[in-house]
Amino acid sequence: MTQIRKLLTATAAFATVTTAAVFAQGAYAQNATQAGEAPTMAPSGAPAMAPGAAPAQMTGQAPSQAPAAAGIAQPAPAPQALTAPQSADPLVQKRNANAAADAEYRSAKKSANAGYSDAKKQAKSQYKAQVKDAKINHKADRQANDSEMKDQMNGMSAQQGGQSQ
């Protein structure tokens, strides 16, 4: 068990060190390019270019587009999605898979909760409508019973009043 633990910690430490080194090289290359210096090594391991050299000139091919005339700005290149390369480390892969599964679970849970709350609101409004209708019906029934009882009482009193006279 301790051998596995040592192996896992060594692998994690190595991954951390190499990742930090790659990011540091990338940051140095960006800072050097912005300052006008030539970077010594690009983050991908490609050879460094001179500050005024174009990529087509480096490979010996003719440029696909003519350089922009003075005073005319070139359109900005299309934005690219930056993604980190997939690691071969099984722990990193497991962590990424767990993160993706957690995100999927959270979104499914959120949509299920939204559906549940919508169904609950609809059921509550139906219940309120039924209660309101039941109250109206109950009131109408009471009024009908009261009027019927009054009619019966008036009929009885009329009969009693007619007999006594």
Single-letter amino acid code for the residue at 94? K
Would you call 49 exposed, middle or buried from its count of C-beta atoms within 10 A (0-12, 13-18, 19+)? middle
Please tell me what DSSP assigns to residue 62. P
| Domain range list for the chain | 1-45, 116-165
pLDDT score recorded for residue 163: 62
- C-alpha torsion angle, residues 29, 32, 37, 38 (rounded to 10): 0
Q: Is-contact 128 135, C-beta < 8 A?
A: no
How many residues are given for the chain?
A: 165
Q: Is-contact 62 56, C-beta < 8 A?
A: yes
**pTM for the full model?**
0.34
Tell me which residue has tokens 């995100």: 103
- 69-83 confidence digits (pLDDT tens): 566 767 777 777 666
**Token couple for 120:** 């609950």
Q: Residue 12 and residue 39: Cα distance in Å, rounded?
A: 29
- 98-136 confidence digits (pLDDT tens): 999 999 999 999 999 999 999 999 999 999 999 999 999
pLDDT score recorded for residue 23: 65
Q: Is-contact 32 38, C-beta < 8 A?
A: yes
Q: Is-contact 6 89, C-beta < 8 A?
A: no
